[in-house]
Structure 1
Amino acid sequence: MAASHPSGSPDANDQPWWLVVLVLIALALAGVIIANDLYTQVFSTVIKGLGVTVFVTMAGFTLATALGLMIALMGLSRHGVLRQIARFYTEVIRGIPILVLLFYIAFVGAPALVALVNLVIAPLVAQGLMEPMQVRDLSLMWRAILALMIGYSAFIAEVFRAGILAVDAGQIEAAKALGLTGAQRFRLVVFPQALRTILPPLGNDFVAMVKDSSLVSVLGVADITQMGKVYASGSFRFFETYSIVAYIYLILTIGLSLVLRRLEKRLRLGRGDGR
């Protein structure tokens, strides 16, 4: 007979020994970095890319969330054309690997975007009020951010769509009975309730973007991975360098995962308490 778990989860009462082990390993590696001059030098070089990694992740995820919400609302629209456009977008973008999308946006999409901008501002350029935009004016970092935004927006759109559809239809009918407009129903009734369903997978996508932000190094953007590549290619210290790179990413992703688990647990408790 299978053991029963009052909390409903097989590992709900398990002690987080895996976390204890990880913390001990992290502390041991931190000690090695401090004590060993080579690891100290590698760490001080690689960590310079942390700011770029954080900025690329935050900017890309913020834009992807906004675009994903817009695509999700289009997919739930009463207008069939908007629904078909949203479905077309999500299916196509989800079928393209992030790395391929990164190259496409950087070397195909960016020149097309610059050409479109120049077409729009052509009258101002003709009058001498503005200079035409050059492709080099759009930095590789922002091209990478746009690629991450587009790539993740399709997945985030499905997260929003599922969360909104999970809201009880009775709540929406009650809001209609109170005379709330469509925008008021979404803002005051639907979205606050959907948020509890949306946050956990949205957090997982955020952690995934932290890892996928390492792909921007293929464009030469000076993130953690790129700084590691440059140092390793010059020193041939591949083991030490990529061990430090992996260490930093693990600290970032596991730390974020723990924060998101705590938030998810609080949301679960709040739902159970009827708040």
Structure 2
Amino acid sequence: MPELSFAPLLQGDYLAWLLAGLQLSLLLTGLTLTTALPLAIVIALLRISPLRPLQLVGEAYVEAVRCVPLLVHMLFWYFGVPELLPDGIKETVYAGHIEVVSAWAALTLYTAAYMSEDIRSGVRAVPGAQLSAAMALGFSYLAAMRLVVLPQALRITFPPLLSQTLNLWKNTSIATVIGTAELMYQAQRVESATFRGFETFALVTAAYLSVSLLLTALAQWAQARLSPNGARR
């Protein structure tokens, strides 16, 4: 049985590769949050719109995205979408960071579909009388939603949105299938170079677990502090 040793992986190029992968995974998570959350709010507002055509648009988006595996989304944005571009633009796109951009697009659309359902539930939890009162005071429907209802809804849905962020963090690992140099990609690179599979993936597991536990603790704290039924200390 070969001797286990983490020392070779905690120095030099191997450590640099793993840290670069961790950094890109965190960057993907952060970038996706900044784009998925606004999109999720828009989709949630479509779902609860008083206009039936807008409701259908929101419902179609959510069902179309949630019924397709994230892996397929990744492959579609990496292999499929660029093929629709003119040859000159396609060559430019593939010469750049197409892997990161494709992963970002897929994660954004996928995450927004799930977040929108949490936000929609939060909006429905706000008493309807508040919307009616705001409109009676002269607010338009959109202004009442933006200034009165949505702030309360986002406070209610903050804990489940953090749980969706945890799912997003784990989902970044799927980006390895399109060559995105995130943590799993770099782990496979290190394992191939060192043949230390146990040590490599033990470190990667610890990294995923550490960030996941941090997000879980934050979600539990938010549930206790920010939920309408939680105790505010």
Compute the TM-score of the two structures, normalised by the length of structure 1: 0.75
Partner residue of 2:201 out of 222, 229, 242:
242
Partner residue of 1:58 out of 13, 30, 37:
30
Superposed counterparts of 1:124-273, under 5 Å: 132=89, 134=91, 135-136=93-94, 137=96, 139-268=98-227
| 2:61 equivalent to 1:89 | yes
Compute the TM-score of the two structures, normalised by the length of structure 2: 0.88
Partner residue of 1:100 out of 56, 59, 72:
72
* Pairwise CA distance, 1:230: 0.4
Counterpart-to-counterpart distance in 1, 2:111 and 2:21: 22
Counterpart-to-counterpart distance in 2, 1:263 and 1:82: 32
Q: Deviations over 1:109-148 (max 9, x none)?
A: 2333x35xx9xxxxxxxxxxxx745341461110111011
- Does the 8 Å contact 1:52/1:222 carry over to 2? yes
* Pairwise CA distance, 1:192: 1.5
**2:42 aligned partner:** 70
Partner AA of 1:153 in structure 2: A
* Pairwise CA distance, 1:78: 2.1
Q: 1:132 to 1:38 in 2, by over 3 A?
A: closer
Unaligned stretches of 5+ in structure 2? none
The structure that has the greater radius of gyration is: 1
Counterpart-to-counterpart distance in 2, 1:255 and 1:138: 29
Counterpart-to-counterpart distance in 2, 1:85 and 1:92: 10
Determine what percentage of the aligned residue pairs are the same residue. Answer: 29
Partner AA of 1:191 in structure 2: L
SS of 1:148's partner is: helix
Counterpart-to-counterpart distance in 2, 1:51 and 1:45: 10
Q: Which runs of 4+ in 1 moved over 6 A?
A: none
Counterpart-to-counterpart distance in 1, 2:15 and 2:167: 23
How many residues align? The count is: 226
| 2:39 equivalent to 1:38 | no
Unaligned stretches of 5+ in structure 1? 1-34, 119-130
Partner AA of 1:250 in structure 2: L
Q: 1:238 to 1:204 in 2, by over 3 A?
A: same
